[in-house]
Amino acid sequence: MGRWQPDARGRLRQAAFELYGERGFDQTTVAQIAERAGLTERTFFRHFADKREVVFSGEVHRVLVSAVADAPAAARPIDAITDALEAAGAVLDQRHDLTRRRQAVIAANPSLQEREQIKLATLAADMAAALRARGVEPSPARLAADAGVAVWNAAFERWIDEDERRDFGLLASDALAELRAVVAPHDDGP
């Protein structure tokens, strides 16, 4: 295997997405991923349970939930969610190309699409739990978390577009403003 090189996890992720794009998710093996990364299968399994976990490693999920939990005590639930979206956006903005490749892999594989939906539902539940741990009542906590996932989806869909150059945080702010406009009271006048 040659001389040790740093960031085995990142190299495995990079190799996996290259191979998923070239061969397809189902046709790619763990052995091929490890070989492309210049590592062993054993090293792969030290970092990932299986090849699906490369796609769903959960780092952004952890950032979102931690940011909600760590928001200032006086923050309203939607403000805690907004801060979390900005924190996650900073992580995403560093991985723009890799995240686009990840989404292409998911779009090409129905079983991964299903798992993505499950992950988003889990994210909403985890953010709601973090809000409840901050003292927010269950119903408002769930509404804020669900709204956060809706804003996430709207911003993310725009962010992965090849023509989009704005940072995720700005797109999330735009999507949140659109949501607020949708739910704002309508003044019909006199």
User: Backbone dihedral region of 80: left (phi > 0), alpha (psi from -120 to 50 degrees) or beta?
Assistant: alpha
Residue 178 is assigned to a structural domain of this protein: yes
Alpha helices by DSSP H, listed for 134-167, are 138-159
Regarding whether 43 and 94 lie in a shared domain, the answer is no
Locate 108 and state its tokens.
Answer: 């090409």
- The SS3 assignment for 135 reads coil
CB atoms within 10 A of CB 128: 26
Number of domains in the chain: 2
- Residue 65's φ and ψ, nearest 5 degrees, are -65, -40
Residues in the chain: 190
Domain-embedded: residue 128: yes
Q: What is the pTM of this model?
A: 0.86
Supply the range of the domain harboring residue 28: 8-53
In the chain, the amino acid numbered 28 is T
Considering the domain architecture, whether residues 147 and 174 belong to the same structural domain is answered as yes
3 domain-assigned:
no
Q: State the CB neighbour count (10 A cutoff) for residue 110.
A: 9
CATH number at residue 29: 1.10.10.60
84 and 168 assigned to the same domain: yes
Q: Alpha-carbon distance 67 to 81, whole Å?
A: 8
Quote the CA–CA distance of 114 and 105 in Å, as a whole number.
13
pLDDT tens, residue order, the chain (190 aa): 444 567 899 999 999 999 999 999 999 999 999 999 999 999 999 999 999 999 998 889 999 999 999 999 899 999 999 999 999 999 998 888 889 899 999 999 999 999 999 999 999 999 999 999 999 999 999 999 999 999 999 999 999 988 888 999 999 999 999 999 998 887 665 5
